[in-house]
Structure 1
């Protein structure tokens, strides 16, 4: 079928639906529902068999839904209605939730049900949940609904009149934190329900800020509302019965001013921040601790596991340098397999565009950031005494995707979306991609991936050779499963043989073309862009971090992309590990 995706933005869920529908053989195009753009006109141009709205903030016009079947993906169970579904679920401490695919009708979220899938709600931020358990449930529901529509025989089910409950938009008045009275658990729920947008509006150090992200602290204590310490750019603030870590802040927008950039908390506060002690934790963080750290190392026999998780997957110059230091420590350990990543949320999206935008000289900060990324990738590429596995448990893009490709093996969770390209930010790219990408997929496919600039599912990545293994695990179970598989790998004679041959292979590659030559050529293109004030990169970066609305649907998305009818891959090309449905694997409970 030809499916038109109508969406308010080409966000993570829309990207995943786009990629997986193509994997299932459907032709897919996208139209963004933007102010001043006629959706009925777009529908007439595309003549779709089905319209699907993975993320739509506005109502579908009657002219569209009365003439075409239009399916809406609502991030809530049957009967839940309203624009703040996940926000309410997290703030009210729901432990189970769901996703419903329903038909567009006169009343929003009240149409007939084509599919619904339940999912767990772990104690994580809204954006993490949305890209994890909710996205898994959404894809299961979407694929079921599309199959039912394609059959031509399925009759969607009416929602019971008694089941409907419309919840209002969750406004800042309902998100307010009373630092004197609120418990740590209540503060965490409020912060997590507002992550990553809109944030929780609060007063701090004489200014108004949106707080983004929230993590518990088990040892530091102080007067409620007091700032206690800093750690890796985050601030620790006392609650009525404990404390929380807040990684990012965004200043409240002043009338007539552009939208402020979300930044590491200490950077956002700048000179307002009083003298506070930096309170680091050991890299080998005790698993029993209930505190926050964005980089953690653990070890079990021959396997090391270096996990990292940066807000939004953005890696600033400081993030890269700290991760490189941690990587050096991990490489000094007597292990044979080192796993990188494995976290629930983003693996990496490359350089930190927000920090760059806020810098006194964005060109210089862009240059410093990309060089720090290159230093990290080079360290991975030149490690020859152990096998490196990139455990991509969540989405990766641009330089972050290339960081994964520097490893000897790439293992992706089955729900991952990869964007191995830089073009949409007006960049040529670095991170040694001109070495790592062609060696995996060939020069022709590498050129297509970087110019088409379309998202790839984990399965598509495996078919192309970008991934060596897909792991059918829920977000909560992925890290443990990757660790288990790494232990199996470390125990094999093949692993020992591969390690023995790594240095020889690296020497052969170096003799053919030195790594420094790839880096020099890439950075020459990047430097030219960074220091050209008229280069599109600067406007594109500004629009991205300041959430400026798009002028229209980008041509590469509006163009119909044919689907791929796929057959199972041979085991040597793709290894799949499945876990039980208790981890929240999609399809465990459907309607």
Structure 2
């Protein structure tokens, strides 16, 4: 089947759908709706694609009538049957729904009112969860299941989707609700910490919640409930910090905030940043943050050490890399046989922190320091010769974040994770990728991955040698499976063989510093000379600028259109 993905962005869900459909033998092409300034222009390009089916796994834009009237067009809505509106997940979190769902429905004139092709219901997490985590977890899993059913049904020319009016409503509260506005999300710091965090969760990672911290107006993100109040600080004042997260006094407990954004102004604000970058390095007490916001956690299970790294949205700033390097050095110094380096179920890594770079007084210098800081992590892993290292890709990863994981001896991926093992943004790339990527997949496949710039799902990663194994999708099951695998490598017999093999590989290559020096010589030209448009690409990413066009590598039908 010839399938067009019409999306607002080629995000994690869109990439999972793209990978799954291609693996099933379908021809898949992509169009980014924001790249078109008129319905007629978009319709003309869809004519060129000549799709049998249009799927919209992530679409914030309205589908033109001339499109859905001509081609079967299915919207993947993040809500159960009967739910309508653009703030579905926000309401589900704020209203403490016990269960929620995903519905695949035909595009019609009224938003989310079309007949239903497929639907799924899932239980909401017991613990409060941020919107992005909910979206990339249960919502995305349900959406993939719906998409598979839609494609099967679309192959039957006799199939007709069901009217919503004839269907049962498994979630009684599902209804048509307006978009949540800024005023609907606002809170006072005198309220309970749990309520404040729930409101922030419902707006994370966008649009955030506007508030005031010590007289500074900011959007807040990445929140967690801290310790009950034992101080007399005025609500809304900073009472502690850990790394770049800050603790703010609330009504009954502290609220930890990981990310903030000043409103856009003439001074270039309006960039989401780790809170410590906005509120400075004033001397305030160092406190232990709640588990959700701990940047590094090290656990030991016999001969296995497990280092969990947390990087919000996968971005690793210079300062965060330095702190992670300290934790990594301590973990490597422990007398274990195996070290697992893993992310959280929401984040792994996407490499250097473009927002922090863009906000720096000298972005080129900050980028240079950032790439050197993340390279230090990679070199520590590649150069380790007394223990086996395992990378656990718990969540999606891209660019330098993928290469950081490849610095380990063994690479495993959680099912459903998508990797983007290439560099974009006008960067040559570093993180020792010229050593680690060819070592895993060979020079020809490495060159293909870096030039084609296409996503790779867990199954394909294992098939091409980018990963050694694929673990369970459910986060707790993956954690248990990962620990079991690490324990097997810690067996003295297998551990000795693995170390011998590792030393043999290292002895047959140039030292890591050789590859780093060559890569950094290229990166210097990208950072300081801006030879490939890094500054403009970075600005577009940071400020969420609409794409000027769909990248040709995704829009496979463009060649037919260009050739008439």
The answer, yes or no, to whether TM exceeds 0.5 is: yes
Confirm whether residue 11 of structure 1 aligns to residue 19 of structure 2.
no
Tell me, yes or no, if the aligned pair for 1:344 and 1:476 is still in contact at 8 Å: no
**2:392 aligned partner:** 391
Other-structure match for 2:562: none
Give unmatched runs, 5+ long, in structure 1. Answer: 282-288, 563-591
Aligned 8 A contact 1:259 1:546 in 2: no
- 1:457 is matched with 457
Summarize deviations over 1:397-437 as a string: whole Å, max 9, x none: 01100011111111111110100011x21111101111111
Asked whether the equivalents of residues 7 and 31 of structure 1 are also in contact (C-alpha less than 8 Å), the reply is yes
1:308 aligned onto 2:309:
yes
Which of 232, 254, 264 does residue 243 from structure 2 map onto? 232
**Among 534, 544, 549, which residue is 1:547 paired with?**
544
Partner of 2:494: 494
- Counterpart of 1:517 in structure 2 is 514
Q: Match of 1:362? A: 363
Change beyond 3 A, Cα 1:93–1:469? same
Residue from 45, 48, 59 that aligns with 1:56: 59
Shift of 1:10: 1.4
Alignment partner of 1:247 is 2:248 = no
Partner residue in 1 for 2:219: 210
Offset from partner CA, 1:260-310 (integer Å, 9 cap, x none): 11111121233xx754222257xxxxxxx7563111001111111100111
Query: Is the 8 Å Cα contact of residues 382 and 512 (structure 2) preserved in structure 1?
Result: no
The answer for the alignment partner of 1:169 in structure 2 is: 179
Provide the C-alpha distance between the structure 2 equivalents of 1:305 and 1:275, rounded to a whole number of angstroms: 32
CA contact (8 A) 1:380 1:388 kept: yes
What residue in structure 2 maps to residue 277 of structure 1? 285
| Segment of structure 1 superposing worse, 358-367 or 204-213 | 204-213
1:284 is matched with: none
The answer to whether the 8 Å contact 2:6/2:56 transfers is: yes
Q: Give the corresponding residue for 1:475.
A: 475
Q: Count how many residue pairs are aligned between Structure 1 and Structure 2.
A: 547
CA distance in 1, matches of 2:328, 2:158: 56
| SS across alignment from 1:215 | strand
Residue of structure 2 equivalent to 1:264? 274
Instruction: Show the counterpart of 1:147.
Output: 152
Q: In structure 1, how many angstroms separate the alpha carbons of the residues matched to 2:29 and 2:547? A: 17
2:102 is aligned with 1:96: no
Give, in whole Å, the separation in 1 of the partners of 2:558 and 2:141.
23
| Kept in 2: contact 1:337–1:490 (CA 8 A) | yes
Matches within 5 A, 1:21-60: 21-34=21-34, 35-37=36-38, 38-60=41-63
CA drift at 1:492: 6.7
**2:351, 2:374 within 8 Å by CA — same for their partners in 1?**
yes
Distance in structure 1 (CA, Å) of the matches to 2:466 and 2:298: 26
Give secondary structure in 2 for the equivalent of 1:326.
helix
SS at match of 1:556: coil
What is the distance in 2 between the residues matched to 1:248 and 1:342?
A: 18
Q: Distance in 1 between matches of 2:210 and 2:261?
A: 9
**8 Å CA contact retained: 2:229, 2:252:** no
CA displacement at 1:17 relative to structure 2: 1.2
The structural deviation recorded for 1:158 is 1.7
Question: Distance between the aligned counterparts of 1:533 and 1:416, measured in 2?
Answer: 32
Contact 2:48 2:557 in 1 (8 A): no
Among 52, 65, 68, the alignment partner of 1:65 is 68
Could you say if the C-alpha distance between residues 377 and 192 of structure 1 is closer, same or farther in structure 2, counting changes exceeding 3 Å?
same
Distance 2:9 2:309 in 1: 27
Report the TM-score when normalising by structure 1: 0.89
- Measured after TM superposition, the shift of residue 258 of structure 1 is 6.0
Shift of 1:560: 4.6
Aligned equivalent of 2:203: 194
2-structure distance, mates of 1:219, 1:482: 35
Whether the aligned pair in 2 keeps the contact of 1:230 and 1:236 (CA below 8 Å) is yes
CA spacing shift, 1:248–1:15, aligned 2, 3 Å: same
Map of 1:530 onto structure 2:
527
Per-residue CA deviation, residues 517-563 of structure 1 (Å, 9 max, x unaligned), is 2111111110011111464011000110111111121222212599x
In 1, Cα distance between the equivalents of 2:5 and 2:337? 45
1:330 aligns with 2:338: no
Contact 2:226 2:254 in 1 (8 A): yes
- Contact in 1 for aligned 2:552/2:558 (Cα 8 Å): no
Counterparts of 2:292 and 2:13, CA distance in 1? 30
- What SS does structure 1 have at the residue aligned with 2:481? helix
- Is the contact made by 1:258 and 1:546 (CA closer than 8 Å) also made in structure 2? no
Q: Please say if residues 6 and 33 of structure 1, whose CA atoms lie closer than 8 Å, have aligned partners that are also in contact.
A: yes
How much does 1:116 deviate?
1.5
- SS of the aligned residue for 2:327 comes to helix
Paired residues of 1:428 and 1:526 also in contact (CA < 8 A): yes
Task: Compute the RMSD of aligned alpha carbons.
Answer: 2.0
Alpha-carbon offset, residue 447 of structure 1: 0.9
Q: Of the two structures, which has the highest relative contact order with CA contacts closer than 8 Å and spacing of 6 or more?
A: 1
Residues 481-510 of structure 1, C-alpha deviations (whole Å, 9 max, x = no match): 32233223323732332124433432233x
- How far 1:478 sits from its partner (Å)? 2.6
